[in-house]
Structures are given as structure tokens and as C-alpha cells.
A and B are shown apart, each in its own frame.
Chain A
Amino acid sequence: EPEVTQTPSHQVTQMGQEVILRCVPISNHLYFYWYRQILGQKVEFLVSFYNNEISEKSEIFDDQFSVERPDGSNFTLKIRSTKLEDSAMYFCASSALWGNTEAFFGQGTRLTVV
């Protein structure tokens, strides 16, 4: 069964460093998303991406965040200068359609900022 894959599964980084979280969405999907879940809290929307541009972003997705689809398969989330409060599980998701459809999630990358 096709699945969304994320690497790495766990990333530890020093505060102020840049991190890139990688995702390979399901191959025929066109819409891509990043969500995060801070420990013990809800799953929060960060950004959606379609046709090589951001479709929508939340207030969390400030200037330190960026997304890119550098080639036909990868979808990346970059955090330019990490803060302690960026520590969370980051989930990539993709969907074939937009609107009334479900998204398929990856296993997540646990980011720990020390």
C-alpha cells in the first residue's frame, strides 16, 4: 500500500541551528501538508502546498519556516533558526484532491531542540 515516508525519524539539534525535515508523499498525490504536534497537545496545521506554491499557512508558520519541493518526489520543511519551542513531532501528509478528502500522514519526525 502506498505510504508517506519521512526522514529522519528523530532529529536532535542545537538551538539556533537550521534543520530540514524530509518527506516523500504518495506518488500520485498533488497536495502536501505539514502538521506538528507538541508533546501532549493537539495536531496543529502548519502549511499546505500545491502546484509548487504555498496554498495556505497558519500563524505558526512564520518567517523561520519554509517549504520546498526540490524535485518530483521530495517535500521538505526547513526551520532556519530553531528555538526550544520548535521541539515537536512534525507530520507530513499528502492528498490526491483538495477539499472533501482525507490526507495520508507519514510516521512523523521527532524534532528535539536542545
Chain B
Amino acid sequence: DQQVKQNSPSLSVQEGRISILNCDYTNSMFDYFLWYKKYPAEGPTFLISISSIKDKNEDGRFTVFLNKSAKHLSLHIVPSQPGDSAVYFCAASGTGGFKTIFGAGTRLFVKA
């Protein structure tokens, strides 16, 4: 069951540059998308979300873009900082659904 896909298992970026993490989904019933960040030995921490009625949501250094026709979303982090190094999970849910489906995660390395 690969309803939410993160095809890049890892990404390495220089400090100060932009990090772009990508996510694709297959279920057209999804209408709410989230990004979670996870450090080792901790639970996922909510980062940012976007509803399907929007195509962009911004919170400080983090921006999520949604392309519904392509069933694609991306998370932009700019400028990237070493503390951003973590695993980032894309997740999706549908209205009325009681579960959130997670992607496999992308490990981001931000080099100082």
C-alpha cells in the first residue's frame, strides 16, 4: 500500500541553501496533507500542513506547495540550518477519515 510516496530516501544540502523535499500521492480522496519531522529516538513532530483548497502554505522558513492535478506536494526549507537535519515524513488524510497515511520518509542532512 503505497498511497503516499517519498521517492528520495535521503537529501544532502549545504547550510543556507534551499532544501526541497518531494512527495507524491495516489489517492484522490486525500484532502489534507502534513509534514512531520522526526529525530532519532523521538516521535514525529508536526511541522506544517496544507488543505487541498490551497496550493501554498508558509510558516517561517517552511513552505509547502500542493499541486493537486499532479498529486504532488513539496516542502521547501529556506534557509536550511544544521538543526533541520532529521527525517521528514509526508502524510495525508481524507475528510471523514480517522487515519493519516505516512510516506516512507526522507532523511535530510544539512551540512555546516
Contact = CB atoms under 8 A, between A and B. Distances in A.
Question: Do A and B come together as binding partners?
Answer: yes
B103 A42 contact: yes
Nearest to A49: B98
Interface in B24-48: 31-32, 34, 36, 41-46
A44 B104 CA distance: 9
B43 A42 contact: no
B98 A43 contact: no
B45 to A, nearest CB: 7
Given A43-B89, A99-B32, A102-B34, A48 B44 contact: no
Interface size range of chain A in the complex: 20 to 34
A45 B43 contact: no
A48 B43 contact: no
A107 B42 CA distance: 5
Contacts of A44: 102
Interface in B64-112: 89, 93, 95-105
A56 B49 contact: no
A102 B92 CA distance: 10
Interface of A: 4, 6, 31, 33, 35, 41-45, 48, 50, 55-56, 58, 91, 93, 98-108
A31 B96 CA distance: 13
A91 B44 CA distance: 9
Interface residues of B, number: 25
Contacts of A45: 99-102
Contacts of A48: 98-99
Given A91-B43, A100-B51, A106-B43, A43 B99 contact: no
Given A41-B104, A48-B98, A98-B98, 8 more contacts: A33-B100, A42-B103, A43-B102, A45-B100, A56-B98, A99-B93, A108-B41, A108-B43
15 contacts: A31-B98, A35-B102, A41-B104, A44-B102, A45-B101, A56-B97, A91-B43, A99-B97, A100-B32, A101-B32, A102-B34, A102-B46, A103-B100, A106-B43, A107-B43
Nearest to B48: A102
